[in-house]
Structure 1
Amino acid sequence: MDQNELNQFSEEFFDEDEFEEISPNSNLEGKPSSNEKYTRVGNFIVRGNKLFKEIKNKEGKFVEVEVGYATLVDSIVKSMETGDVSLDLRYFSFGKWEKATIERGKLVKSDLKTFLNLGMDVGGKKADIVFDFIDKHEKMAPKTYTHSKLGWHIHDGQLIFRLSQALQQGQAPFSEYKGPLQIAPKGSYKDWIDAINQHVIGHTPMELILAASFAAPIVGLLNVTEIAESDSLLLNIVGNSTTGKTTAAVVAASVFGSPSITHNGLIQSFNGTSNALQSIISGNLGVVLIFDETSMNMLGNKAFTSLIYKLAQNKEKARLNCECQ
């Protein structure tokens, strides 16, 4: 920042009666001391929970002035599927540090309400200053990926498998799942194996269900790598109550994620519209998904048959967006 910009900043951002130099003798919160830790980003300084900016005062001396409570960039996040970039922000509000993820495109004054509603200290004349700091700080922040779809995917020319994390042969996990389904690992692998050996192996119907579950990543791999073009494998379990249908669904779902029916696990209700059911399965290329209680759906025979074919093709209904794309 040159001298003209510094002078303009001090004149526009601070009124003459509210300009105050921060010095070692100041009693303002966040004052510097010889042994205090701070972070410098260009002409900005973060000390404690406060953001300061270095400017030139009326005597031509460089001093620190307080901007407000700090908003920091913890990481830059890029969506693997859409390419959209967001910022993981950490900000001080109501006496404690809070976190929020904001689309990078919202760092404009026209979207200021988004930041104010979250409690960030960006009101009035501060917005441009804080946004300028965020723009500088993000260049120092670590970069990572997120994904909202599941299964196989070609990323930067490499084959990966997306579950709770994105897995690539010979590489550490590098992306985190940000979606509605509960697929974070829980429990222990040993307990799961023990349960399979005790309750599944040797019981042909359950062995069939387990094999069908493991078929999901095989079918997805064939399609993603274009080795073959194959529709999704659909398996319909029919039987009276208390004959083990839900137990079988739990076994199948447990391979990839939570087998919960009520807490957004991999067992979903069939009580929804055709479009809603398609959106749940869209983009899933390798993870089993169960729809429970088909009888709850009120579609007619013709519409129900059409839905089954659409689910097998694993394609969401084509739509135009606001830009006619």
Structure 2
Amino acid sequence: MINAIVPWGEVHVPNGFGLSDEGLFAYDKKTKDYGYVCPPLAFVSGTSSLSDGSETYDLQYVTSRGDVVIREVRAAELTSRDIESWVGFGIGVTPTNKVPLLRFLVAQRRCIDIKVTYATVGWLNDDEFAANQLISSDPQRAGSLDSGSYDLQPKGTAHEWWKMWSGIRQNAALQLAVAVGLSSVLLRPISQAYPDLRNLLVSFIGNSSTGKTTAAMLAVSVAGNTQPFSQGSLMRSWSATPTAIPIMLDGNHGVPFVLDELSRFKGRDLTDVLYNLAEGTSRVRATKIATLRETSSWQTTIVVTGEHGLLDGTVSAQNDGLRTRVIELESVQWTSSSEEAEFIKTNCSNAYGWLITDLVKWVIFHREELLETFEAAVLMAKRLMADAPYRDRLSIKYAVLGATAVAANKCWPEIGLDAEKIMELAIQHSRRNWSTDLAGRVYMDLIDYLKANQASLLLPNSQYANTKVIGKISMVSNSMFIDLFPREFKKIVTEDLGAQSDRVVLSEFRKRGYLRNEADRQTTRITISGKRRTVVSIKIPEADQCDFTQSQRFDGEGLTKEPFSSGHIKTINDAVLQAMKVEGPVEEPDDRELDAIIDGGDEENE
């Protein structure tokens, strides 16, 4: 909407019409003269939306009180029926003048300057990027952002941002943060050749003293508003609902975005949310009339901060799908001191939004060079990751950071980003993310769990280990096995260790040789308390066997050194409970109680 009134004599009108302070006039072919139509009015400017193609115009007119005002009019209102309603706004429309008035307005809109507007941000197509102002390969094409969702209006001066950067650019971790922020611009151009590259989801993990939020603020300062809780800020909170998060990201195709403090998430399970964030679409839902709702979409870099990770099984399921969609950076000391952190926060709050425009212009005219740079970065990432199980899929994501650093150096030589060091830092600090697969991670976690809960394991010839029994310890040819009851295995793996499917884990365990199983099964059957029971028999690595207190009761042939009396059992259990720092007496159940304690799955009398 235009605020300044335009003098009537300066308004452009089509042939056959005249406009002055006296009113609007139309040429009459019969009288060969201009006849009065209505008090003066005309369109003085207009906008055309790239989002849906609709147009709106700023109509300047004289009200019945004689005031000159401007009102926004939609193109769809330029009909004989709709303009009659304008009389309610003080516009001089009558049944006799509406036809020439409408003819004038339809023709006159071609005489005004119509600016392009857009509600989405980022790449609109291969040659145009929607920032605060339109960035296009055509220098004559202009446009502006017409949305309050993202504040991309630069603040302060570029000189202030670069002055801050000159004081911190030797910090490799902060170089990584800037590369993460700028990487959002590269995703669409690169994904034209690598369609699997949708979004870059990067998790900054650490306590408050590591400077993770400061690094996230620095990352988005390259594009726009860094001030949390302000309108259009690129720093948002996890306190939003799972439904609201896709709405916040909808239409973002190249502007970095932060979800700060994972601990504020209000839901129970982030698995679906993370998949949606990584894939760039919201869940498809049906309307009440059985049609599909329009889904949200985005393609950008999303930074997540928190004191615990997205992939540790506490907020999302452990599966390989998520592992290949997230770069989780652990134990990075982003800032060297509290003074440096405060310095960055202050400067990023006062000067932001100055870099993204220049990088977009560079990318538009250097696409082939960008792809060559990216392919070289992929090879470097694969070399740094050696034979990691997810190397092929994750190397593409790490390569985006390396290619971003190279592109940034060509755009601004003074930025001084070390591409190789940035990639090495990201890969080394996310080793847990890519160095082991699902089976390896769950297996290691399961061994640790069994060590911590060994008081709940039976020994041969004993009647019980504790009031809760989850399985039994066995020794076979100097190899230790923990025989877990199937329901206990499922509970431990899915509820305590966060795996999404116990069946998938069991299948992978069998492939890796982590199980003692019968030829045609993933389980085996052993005798417990005089009955044949089906168990999941987990092989314990030799290096971990000494951590099981009860292992001392076995001799070299895998047999218990002596029969267990109730006194022996109590002594063993007291020792185990003491080692586990569990207090309280242990009650001895009888055989019926033992059967009730054991959660056994299939069983058969021996």
Q: Structure 1: which amino acid aligns with 2:105?
A: I
Q: 1:234 to 1:227 in 2, by over 3 A?
A: closer
Q: Which has the larger radius of gyration?
A: 2
Q: Which residue of 1 aligns with 2:16?
A: 43
Q: Secondary structure at the match of 1:131?
A: helix
1:142 aligns with 2:142: no
Q: 1:166 to 1:316 in 2, by over 3 A?
A: farther
Q: 1:273 to 1:170 in 2, by over 3 A?
A: same
How many angstroms apart in 2 are the aligned matches of 1:265 and 1:114?
Answer: 39
Superposition deviation, residue 307 in structure 1? 1.1
**Is residue 19–residue 25 contact of structure 2 (8 Å, CA) maintained in 1?**
yes
Q: Find the partner of 1:310 among 268, 271, 276.
A: 276
1:89 aligns with 2:58: yes
Q: Deviations over 1:222-278 (max 9, x none)?
A: 22x344421311122344446534322321111011212212122223333333321
1:274 aligns with 2:242: yes
1:105 aligns with 2:72: no
Q: Structure 1: which amino acid aligns with 2:231?
A: H
How many angstroms apart in 2 are the aligned matches of 1:187 and 1:239?
Answer: 30
Q: Secondary structure at the match of 2:165?
A: helix
Superposition deviation, residue 139 in structure 1? 2.1
**Is residue 226–residue 235 contact of structure 2 (8 Å, CA) maintained in 1?**
yes
Superposition deviation, residue 185 in structure 1? 2.4
TM-score normalised by L of structure 2 = 0.41
Q: Secondary structure at the match of 2:203?
A: coil
Superposition deviation, residue 170 in structure 1? 6.0
Q: How does 1:1-325 map to 2 (within 5 A)?
A: 40-48=13-21, 50-55=23-28, 60=31, 62-75=33-46, 77-82=47-52, 84-92=53-61, 95-98=67-70, 100=72, 102-112=73-83, 115=86, 119=89, 121-125=91-95, 127-154=98-125, 159-169=127-137, 171-180=139-148, 181-198=150-167, 200-223=168-191, 225-241=192-208, 244-261=211-228, 262-301=230-269, 304-318=270-284
Q: Secondary structure at the match of 1:259?
A: coil
Q: Deviations over 1:94-142 (max 9, x none)?
A: 6244252x4322323554588567x461544355443322101012223
RMSD: 3.4
Q: Which residue of 2 aligns with 1:24?
A: none
Q: Structure 1: which amino acid aligns with 2:271?
A: T
Q: Secondary structure at the match of 1:234?
A: strand
Superposition deviation, residue 92 in structure 1? 3.0
Q: Structure 2: which amino acid aligns with 1:232?
A: N
Q: Deviations over 1:159-181 (max 9, x none)?
A: 22221223234634522222221
Structure 1, unaligned runs of 5 or more: 1-31
Q: Secondary structure at the match of 1:274?
A: coil
Structure with bigger helix share is 2
Q: 1:166 to 1:53 in 2, by over 3 A?
A: same
Superposition deviation, residue 201 in structure 1? 1.6
Q: Structure 1: which amino acid aligns with 2:16?
A: N
Superposition deviation, residue 64 in structure 1? 2.6
Q: Structure 1: which amino acid aligns with 2:110?
A: K
Matched-pair identity in %: 19
Q: 1:175 to 1:249 in 2, by over 3 A?
A: same
Q: 1:170 to 1:136 in 2, by over 3 A?
A: closer
How many angstroms apart in 2 are the aligned matches of 1:55 and 1:85?
Answer: 33
How many angstroms apart in 1 are the aligned matches of 2:32 and 2:254?
Answer: 63
Superposition deviation, residue 315 in structure 1? 1.9
Q: Structure 2: which amino acid aligns with 1:46?
A: L
How many angstroms apart in 1 are the aligned matches of 2:290 and 2:153?
Answer: 36
**Is residue 115–residue 142 contact of structure 2 (8 Å, CA) maintained in 1?**
yes
Superposition deviation, residue 193 in structure 1? 0.9
TM-score normalised by L of structure 1 = 0.71
Q: 1:49 to 1:153 in 2, by over 3 A?
A: farther
How many angstroms apart in 2 are the aligned matches of 1:256 and 1:39?
Answer: 38
Q: 1:323 to 1:64 in 2, by over 3 A?
A: farther
